[in-house]
Amino acid sequence: KILILDFGSQVTQLIARRVRDAGVFSEVYPYDVDDAFIRSYGASGIILSGSHNSTLEGDSPRAPQAVFEAGVPVLGICYGMQTMAAQLGGKVENGLVREFGYAEVRARNHTALLNGINDFVTDEGHGMLKVWMSHGDKVLDMPPGFKLMASTDSCPIAGMADEERKFYAVQWHPEVTHTVQGKAMLSRFVHEICGAKADWNMPDYISEAVEKIRAQVGTDEVILGLSGGVDSSVAAALIHRAIGDQLTCVFVDHGLLRLNEGKMVMDMFSKNLGVKVIQVDATEQFMGHLAGVTDPEQKRKIIGREFVEVFQAESGKLVNAKWLAQGTIYPDVIESAGKGKKGQTIKSHHNVGGLPETMKLQLLEPLRELFKDEVRKLGVALGLPHEMVYRHPFPGPGLGVRILGEVKKEYADLLRRADAIFIEELRNTPYEGAAMPGEEAPKNWYDATSQAFAVFLPVKSVGVMGDGRTYDYVVALRAVQTQDFMTAHWAHLPHTLLGKVSNRIINEVRGLNRVVYDISGKPPATIEWE
Ligand code: XMP
């Protein structure tokens, strides 16, 4: 396995994902783990990530010295390269120009990392690589024992290597798709330089995870809050594979789910997979508490609180349960481990609520090691339908934050139908655009967008239908494309698609007579309207 030490770069998680894509298990830990941890971890290689820091600042982060004494290969990326240089006796300087974005670097001196991989060859016969850079500082002098591995005009030491000790460092980011040979570089590092075995794959993972769950819970009973989202669904399928009827799922329907969602969840888990699921229809309770409330944060609080209440009441009936299972995934784990550290922003979104201390349940989190794309692959490998495993994210408060202002059942019913038409048409419309480099081209507009939904606007406008005048509500359509949901572009959906959706909604959903399309980016707008 490969150990990645995180100095706080936004793209550190991508390093781990790429390494895992190469079939080698890897984990991210904060850079300030101690020497003893490094020595006992058993890594076949260590990668030092980028950072927003500068090594030239007084108290800037350093890798534990044990990294360079562990006798395993080390790869420094961006800041990782600079700290490697500084720690091993080289020199870093403040670059006059910040280099950001696309760059072409010249590979030099036939190193095991770059030898033979290039994107093009210049007239002079130099192998060139197309890479993505983001740095202000740069290495001025290499530490003793290092030779030059790559250079650009503005960054003469863009890569360096001490092949004796197997220390490699690059100023660019091999983990981002814009670095065309990035995958090949990381694959080389882990396989050829570190000698790590390619033994990380889903079928093996399932059998290991099943054994682990069985060993952990023995004959105990387990409760899981099933939301219909990807994480809790995959967790349920995996745990059910391991312990069958010892698992009971509680599925709370707050009346703010999408069209037919409750039925779909019950059909899939209860009917098809034979999982024990208790479905609780709490629509009235939720609508009752939401009546008259218009403030978005207040609505979120009420939905969160009622959710916990209903979930606790149902779980409390399962007196033999000893475990609470949750679909926590690896990015949640890394994020909470980094809490309080510099440069971390934590979302305040709620998911499945906790249970009272008195129930003394132990936590079972079988997806803790997995990234989202791995959770999806696991779901498919466990037999969940592709369509459900690759669904867009849906917020915990559901349609509660997509009905502006006061939530009413009447509004939710109209919105559900409009939303279902929009999603159906997105799925049915082929996507003809290009794929992201290194990724598969999306087949339809649903897959080509990151999140798409309808929003209910509680205002009425005038329309005509046949001979009559209408005075009905408006829905807004929202579709965005994003990598991380922190920033997003509105999707340039084809006009014919928008036209068809609008027509269908107005003709099929009585009570709606106007459809608008949201063309705001994030920032300054958010993805949801509340
Ligand atoms: P915004 O609207 O903040 O959304 O741009 C970013 C992502 O977060 C989701 N979201 C939520 N998820 N509870 C959730 O579980 C919430 O209260 C919530 N609010 C927003 C949103 O759908 C998008 O994916």
524 prior amide bond cis, ω within 30: yes
The confidence band for 359, taking pLDDT boundaries of 50, 70 and 90, is: low
227 known ligand binder: yes
For ligand 1, is residue 41 a contact (CB within 6 Å)?
no
416 CA distance to ligand 1 middle (Å): 18
> pLDDT digit string (tens) for 377-394?
999 999 999 999 999 999
Average pLDDT over residues 263-273: 95
Quick one: pLDDT at residue 197? 92
What number does the ligand 1 atom closest to the CA of 450 have?
24
Of all protein residues, the one whose alpha carbon is nearest to atom 3 of ligand 1 is 526
Looking at the predicted structure, is the pLDDT value of residue 340 above 80?
no
Tokens of 147: 């030779």
Q: Which of 299, 308, 349, 391 to mutate to test the pocket of ligand 1 (most atoms within 8 A of CB)?
A: 349
How much helix, strand and coil, in percent to the nearest 5, is found in the chain? Answer: 35, 25, 40
Query: 109 to each of 117, 148, 158, how far by Cα in Å?
Result: 13, 7, 13
| CATH fold group of domain 2-193 | Rossmann fold (3.40.50)
User: HSE of 398 in the Cβ direction (CA atoms, 13 Å)?
Assistant: 27
Asked if CATH classification 3.90.1150.10 holds for the domain at 402-517, the reply, yes or no, is no
485 CA distance to ligand 1 middle (Å): 8
210 known ligand binder: no
Average pLDDT over residues 470-479: 98
Quick one: pLDDT at residue 336? 65
303 CA distance to ligand 1 middle (Å): 14
The CA angle 116-119-123, to the nearest 5 degrees, is: 90
Q: What is the 3-state secondary structure (H, E, C) of 327-389?
A: CCCHHHHHHHHCCCCCCCCCCCCCCCCCCCHHHCCEEECCCCCCCHHHHHHHHHHCCCCHHHH
Domains 2-193 and 202-389 share a fold: yes
The confidence band for 434, taking pLDDT boundaries of 50, 70 and 90, is: confident
Q: How many residues does the chain have?
A: 530
Of 487, 372, 493, nearest to 442 by C-alpha is 493
Looking at the predicted structure, is the pLDDT value of residue 436 above 90?
no
121 known ligand binder: no
> pLDDT digit string (tens) for 115-165?
989 999 999 999 999 999 988 899 999 999 999 999 998 899 999 999 999
Neighbours of 381 (CB within 10 A): 17
Q: Do 294 and 407 form a contact (C-beta atoms < 8 A)?
A: no
The confidence band for 342, taking pLDDT boundaries of 50, 70 and 90, is: very low
417 CA distance to ligand 1 middle (Å): 21
- Cross-strand partners of 151: 106
180 known ligand binder: no
For ligand 1, is residue 53 a contact (CB within 6 Å)?
no
Tokens of 314: 């149902």
What number does the ligand 1 atom closest to the CA of 525 have?
5
Quick one: pLDDT at residue 350? 36
The CA angle 91-94-95, to the nearest 5 degrees, is: 115
The confidence band for 87, taking pLDDT boundaries of 50, 70 and 90, is: very high
For ligand 1, is residue 119 a contact (CB within 6 Å)?
no
Looking at the predicted structure, is the pLDDT value of residue 354 above 60?
no
> pLDDT digit string (tens) for 43-81?
999 999 999 888 888 889 999 999 999 999 999 999 999
Q: Report the SS3 class of residue 273.
A: coil
- Cross-strand partners of 130: 104
Quick one: pLDDT at residue 357? 64
Which pTM does this prediction carry? 0.86
Of all protein residues, the one whose alpha carbon is nearest to atom 9 of ligand 1 is 395
For ligand 1, is residue 397 a contact (CB within 6 Å)?
yes
Distance from first CA to last CA of the chain, Å, rounded? 43
Looking at the predicted structure, is the pLDDT value of residue 368 above 90?
yes
Domain ranges of the chain: 2-193, 202-389, 402-517
For ligand 1, is residue 522 a contact (CB within 6 Å)?
yes
The confidence band for 345, taking pLDDT boundaries of 50, 70 and 90, is: very low
For ligand 1, is residue 239 a contact (CB within 6 Å)?
no
Q: Cα torsion for 341, 347, 353, 357, to the nearest 10°? A: 20
Average pLDDT over residues 203-215: 95
Average pLDDT over residues 320-331: 93
For ligand 1, is residue 294 a contact (CB within 6 Å)?
no
Tokens of 149: 């591995």
ipTM > 0.95 (yes/no): yes
> pLDDT digit string (tens) for 18-44?
999 999 999 999 999 999 999 999 999
Quick one: pLDDT at residue 42? 96
Q: Do 481 and 489 form a contact (C-beta atoms < 8 A)?
A: yes
The rounded distance, in Å, linking the Cα atoms of 139 and 155 is 8
228 known ligand binder: yes
108 CA distance to ligand 1 middle (Å): 46
Helix axes 230-243, 202-217, angle to 10 degrees: 70
Q: Report the SS3 class of residue 283.
A: helix
Q: What percent of the chain is predicted at pLDDT more than 70? A: 95
The rounded distance, in Å, linking the Cα atoms of 415 and 399 is 8
Quick one: pLDDT at residue 400? 97
Burial group, residue 185, by CB count within 10 angstroms (0-12, 13-18, 19+): buried
Q: Do 385 and 343 form a contact (C-beta atoms < 8 A)?
A: no
What number does the ligand 1 atom closest to the CA of 394 have?
22
Alpha helices in 88-201 (DSSP H): 182-187
145 known ligand binder: no
For ligand 1, is residue 50 a contact (CB within 6 Å)?
no
Quick one: pLDDT at residue 343? 37
Q: Which of 527, 529, 530 to mutate to test the pocket of ligand 1 (most atoms within 8 A of CB)?
A: 527
Tokens of 190: 């882990």
Residues assigned a catalytic role: 78, 173, 175
Mean pLDDT rounded to a whole number for the chain: 92
Query: 25 to each of 20, 88, 365, how far by Cα in Å?
Result: 5, 28, 18
The rounded distance, in Å, linking the Cα atoms of 190 and 165 is 15
CATH ID of 202-389, from 3.30.460.80, 3.30.565.10, 3.40.50.620, 3.60.150.10: 3.40.50.620
244 CA distance to ligand 1 middle (Å): 33
For ligand 1, is residue 80 a contact (CB within 6 Å)?
no
Quick one: pLDDT at residue 67? 98
What number does the ligand 1 atom closest to the CA of 529 have?
2
240 CA distance to ligand 1 middle (Å): 29
What single letter denotes the amino acid at residue 313? A
Average pLDDT over residues 300-322: 93
230 known ligand binder: yes
